[in-house]
A and B are shown apart, each in its own frame.
Chain A
Amino acid sequence: MNEHGDSFVHIASVKLLLVVWIALMFGTWLTVSASTVDLGFLNIWVGLAIATGKAVLVALYYMHLRWDKPFNALVFLGAFFFLFLFIGFAMMDTAHYQPDLIPGYSPGMVGGS
């Protein structure tokens, strides 16, 4: 787009858009069917893997990240990094102090102990 006096603006071809769309649909089908098989603790990880695959597709192609300035990608990934940091610490700590909690404590609920 010369109007933009720049070379980088990327225009996704219809073909690309449709291919990604099919991939996403397939991914959805895959997640659902994967959830019906019992893989024990693996289920969640398989599911997350597929979901992340879908997310990456959307980010790279629909959001043009693949052709975008790397810094924009860095910003986006940075957000996830700090989120994982938060999740990590919170899960670690809560897991460690679980034994101190009174099991099922919820006196405010009907029939709560």
Chain B
Amino acid sequence: MAEEISAPVGVANVDHAGSDDNYLNHGKGILSWLFTLDHKRIGVMYLVAILSSFFLGGVFAMLLRSELWTAGQTIMTADTYNKMFTLHGAVMIFLFIIPGIPATLGNFVLPLMLGAKDVALPRLNLASFWLWLTGASFAVVSIIVGAVDTGWTFYTPYSTTTGTAVISMTLGAFILGFSSIFTGLNFIVTIHKMRPEGMTWFRMPLFLWGIYSTAIIQVLATPVLGITLLLLVAERALGVGIFDPALGGDPVLYQHFFWFYSHPAVYIMILPAMAIMSELISTFSGKHIFGYRFIAWSSIAIALLSFLVWGHHMFTSGQSGLTNMIFSALTFSVAIPSAVKVFNWLATMYKGSIRLAAPMLYALSFLFLFAIGGLTGLFLGSLSTDIHLHDTYFVVAHFHYVMFGGTVIAFLGGIHYWWPKIFGRMYSERWAQLSALLIFVGFNLTFFTQFVMGSHGMPRRYYNYLEQFTPYHQASTVGSFILALGFLIMAGYLLHSLVRGEKAPANPWGAATLEWETTSPPAYYNFKHDMRAGDPYDLDALRFEPSLGGYVRRDPSSVLATTEGVE
């Protein structure tokens, strides 16, 4: 594209702020989206698809909470309830939270942060999106033909004997698995092969470290989910007797198979959230991230350790005592890097200049909620207490504090952070802060009660419950409605910003990573120049430019490649 480099060096990339040609209007028509190879459009399509799944899963959740308002039947039968919590779990996990951050923000931001024009394998990227759609439609088919009542874990022999549509749901999850594998594969290759001049491994934005660690897990763990679900399908369709005791199989072996993937999967969910956190905390504290290398290495550490702890889901399953001991010990090891991250984030805020903009509010709630989520993990990792707490609402509360209080909150933070970049529009800060507050309050009310319920012995996946638990359940349900209200408001102002929102500057927050060096929304080719990366957290290199309402580099040439590319 050498001929295109006519713009005076120095204001390159940014000088066209507000110019019309960007990735959103580059091609017209639905097909120009569905078959695009542009990582930005694929990211946006993922965003739409995944937020719809989140909405669907959320509806299931609200129905569940409503049913639990009273013991016994409130609005649905036991069988409907069992299907409902299965669908809530399956949709939220396989359709929403696992692809969640990497497929949406990752797809959009990762190449931009690398100053690249696209991910390394754009066709594969599109393929994985189509795989997602295919998997999703399998899940939908399953829902239509009578849904599944096995719980999202598909434990045998229940899943091999129940009369519900298990096969289509498992095939759906199977296909979604490959979508996830290809995304991860793509990101690994991209980060390895497409880093710009000056971006050594330890000059990568921590977001990339997080996504990279996530990709490692996606690539190494997900194939095992594939074979597990395949075996489950074979078990149901042919009766291969690997997992079904009636045919000489071993149901506990199934749990090993399942958790070998599904525990690392927990880190597929949380690592990208931590990745976002590092960006938010640094940017909105107006300070260089603290302990860069420790945060970076802790991501890798978490990724690798996550493969050594799956047995802690099986302490009461009939797993041998020795195995229990080993897994309990290993489980604690994974707590350390997470703690290190939290402390480094706190240290980053020290002597900063903290702006409480919406993304930062989410970052703060993350610290608050993830602290609870992480610490309650200690109760479950230690053997004797887990025996009592396993399969109770304590566990439900714990993983919601991590998955929702952690991942979803950080995801929302990320969406608010990159929204101006993605759509070139600002949203209403005031409304954003209100919904952040409602979500925070509603969430705590919903799930903290569940800790208490659980430690008192309220088992999970219960349609009916003993009288003594009624107050907890009702408090929890009230909270869930506050939570839902928060999300409705968010949907409102975000959609509003798309049409009415004021135009966003190229760099509204004053962050130093490369994605802010191009226009908002980015041009079709991302950057007009080959980029050069410096310290991604050197915020002093930027100054506020009132005329633009955003930040600009004091020395714009510092991010331009010294040598033009081969082209």
Interaction A to B: yes
Residues of A bordering B, CB below 8 Å: 71, 78-79, 82, 85-86, 89-90, 92-94, 96-97, 100-101, 104-109, 112
Please, how many angstroms separate the alpha-carbon atoms of A90 and B319 in the complex? 10
Check B220–A82 contact: CB distance below 8 A. yes
Check B247–A106 contact: CB distance below 8 A. yes
Check B307–A97 contact: CB distance below 8 A. no
Question: Among the listed A71, A82, A96, A108, which residue makes an inter-chain contact with B307, where contact means beta carbons less than 8 Å apart?
Answer: A82
Check B320–A105 contact: CB distance below 8 A. no
Q: Which residue of A lies closest to B245 (CB)?
A: A105
Check A71–B322 contact: CB distance below 8 A. no
- Interface segment, one of B252-260, B337-345, B532-540: B252-260
Inside 8 A of A90's CB, which chain B residues have their CB? 253, 256
Known contacts A82-B220, A89-B256, A93-B256: A106-B323 contact under CB 8 Å: no
B308 interface residue per 8 A CB criterion: yes
The 7 closest A-B pairs by CB, nearest first: A108-B246, A96-B320, A106-B248, A93-B323, A97-B320, A108-B247, A90-B256
Minimum CB–CB distance from A32 to chain B (whole Å) comes to 28
Minimum CB–CB distance from B206 to chain A (whole Å) comes to 22
Known contacts A86-B260, A97-B252: A92-B322 contact under CB 8 Å: yes
10 A-B Cβ contacts within 8 A? Answer: A89-B323, A93-B256, A96-B323, A100-B318, A101-B250, A104-B248, A106-B241, A108-B246, A108-B247, A109-B247
B244 interface residue per 8 A CB criterion: yes
Check A112–B248 contact: CB distance below 8 A. yes
Please, how many angstroms separate the alpha-carbon atoms of A109 and B241 in the complex? 10
Inside 8 A of B321's CB, which chain A residues have their CB? 96
Check A93–B319 contact: CB distance below 8 A. yes
Inside 8 A of B124's CB, which chain A residues have their CB? none
Chain B window 214-225, contacts with chain A (Cβ cutoff 8 Å), 1 for yes, 0 for no = 000000100010
Check B248–A96 contact: CB distance below 8 A. no
Check B323–A92 contact: CB distance below 8 A. yes
Inside 8 A of B220's CB, which chain A residues have their CB? 78-79, 82
Q: Which residue of A lies closest to B247 (CB)?
A: A108
Question: Among the listed A71, A93, A106, A107, which residue makes an inter-chain contact with B311, where contact means beta carbons less than 8 Å apart?
Answer: A93
Q: Which residue of B lies closest to A109 (CB)?
A: B247
Minimum CB–CB distance from A1 to chain B (whole Å) comes to 16
Please, how many angstroms separate the alpha-carbon atoms of A112 and B244 in the complex? 13
Check A106–B246 contact: CB distance below 8 A. yes
Inside 8 A of A89's CB, which chain B residues have their CB? 256, 311, 323, 326
Please, how many angstroms separate the alpha-carbon atoms of A97 and B256 in the complex? 13
Please, how many angstroms separate the alpha-carbon atoms of A89 and B320 in the complex? 11
Q: Supply 18 further A-B pairs (C-beta < 8 A) apart from A86-B260, A112-B247.
A: A85-B308, A86-B224, A89-B311, A90-B253, A92-B320, A93-B256, A93-B319, A93-B320, A93-B323, A94-B252, A106-B245, A106-B248, A108-B239, A108-B241, A108-B244, A109-B246, A109-B247, A112-B248
Inside 8 A of A104's CB, which chain B residues have their CB? 248
B355 interface residue per 8 A CB criterion: no
Minimum CB–CB distance from B463 to chain A (whole Å) comes to 29
Q: Which residue of A lies closest to B157 (CB)?
A: A108
Please, how many angstroms separate the alpha-carbon atoms of A109 and B245 in the complex? 10
Minimum CB–CB distance from B320 to chain A (whole Å) comes to 3
Inside 8 A of B543's CB, which chain A residues have their CB? none
Inside 8 A of A100's CB, which chain B residues have their CB? 318
Please, how many angstroms separate the alpha-carbon atoms of A89 and B252 in the complex? 13
Known contacts A71-B192, A89-B256: A109-B322 contact under CB 8 Å: no
Chain B window 341-365, contacts with chain A (Cβ cutoff 8 Å), 1 for yes, 0 for no = 0000000000000000000000000
Among B253, B256, B320, which residue has the most Cβ atoms of chain A within 10 A?
B320
Minimum CB–CB distance from A104 to chain B (whole Å) comes to 8
Minimum CB–CB distance from A35 to chain B (whole Å) comes to 25
Inside 8 A of A101's CB, which chain B residues have their CB? 250
Minimum CB–CB distance from A101 to chain B (whole Å) comes to 8
Minimum CB–CB distance from A100 to chain B (whole Å) comes to 7
Please, how many angstroms separate the alpha-carbon atoms of A92 and B248 in the complex? 19
Please, how many angstroms separate the alpha-carbon atoms of A86 and B250 in the complex? 16
Inside 8 A of B320's CB, which chain A residues have their CB? 92-93, 96-97
In the complex, which residues 246-278 of chain B have their Cβ closer than 8 Å to any Cβ of chain A? 246-248, 250, 252-253, 256, 260
Inside 8 A of A112's CB, which chain B residues have their CB? 247-248
Inside 8 A of A78's CB, which chain B residues have their CB? 220
In the complex, which residues 269-321 of chain B have their Cβ closer than 8 Å to any Cβ of chain A? 307-308, 311, 318-321
Question: Among the listed B244, B248, B253, B260, which residue makes an inter-chain contact with A94, where contact means beta carbons less than 8 Å apart?
Answer: B253
Inside 8 A of A109's CB, which chain B residues have their CB? 241, 246-248
Minimum CB–CB distance from B319 to chain A (whole Å) comes to 6
Check A94–B239 contact: CB distance below 8 A. no
Please, how many angstroms separate the alpha-carbon atoms of A100 and B320 in the complex? 10
Minimum CB–CB distance from B234 to chain A (whole Å) comes to 15
Please, how many angstroms separate the alpha-carbon atoms of A58 and B239 in the complex? 36
Inside 8 A of B323's CB, which chain A residues have their CB? 89, 92-93, 96
Please, how many angstroms separate the alpha-carbon atoms of A37 and B556 in the complex? 75
Inside 8 A of B322's CB, which chain A residues have their CB? 92-93, 96
In the complex, which residues 182-205 of chain B have their Cβ closer than 8 Å to any Cβ of chain A? 192
Inside 8 A of B245's CB, which chain A residues have their CB? 105-106
Please, how many angstroms separate the alpha-carbon atoms of A49 and B51 in the complex? 51
Inside 8 A of A108's CB, which chain B residues have their CB? 239, 241, 244, 246-247
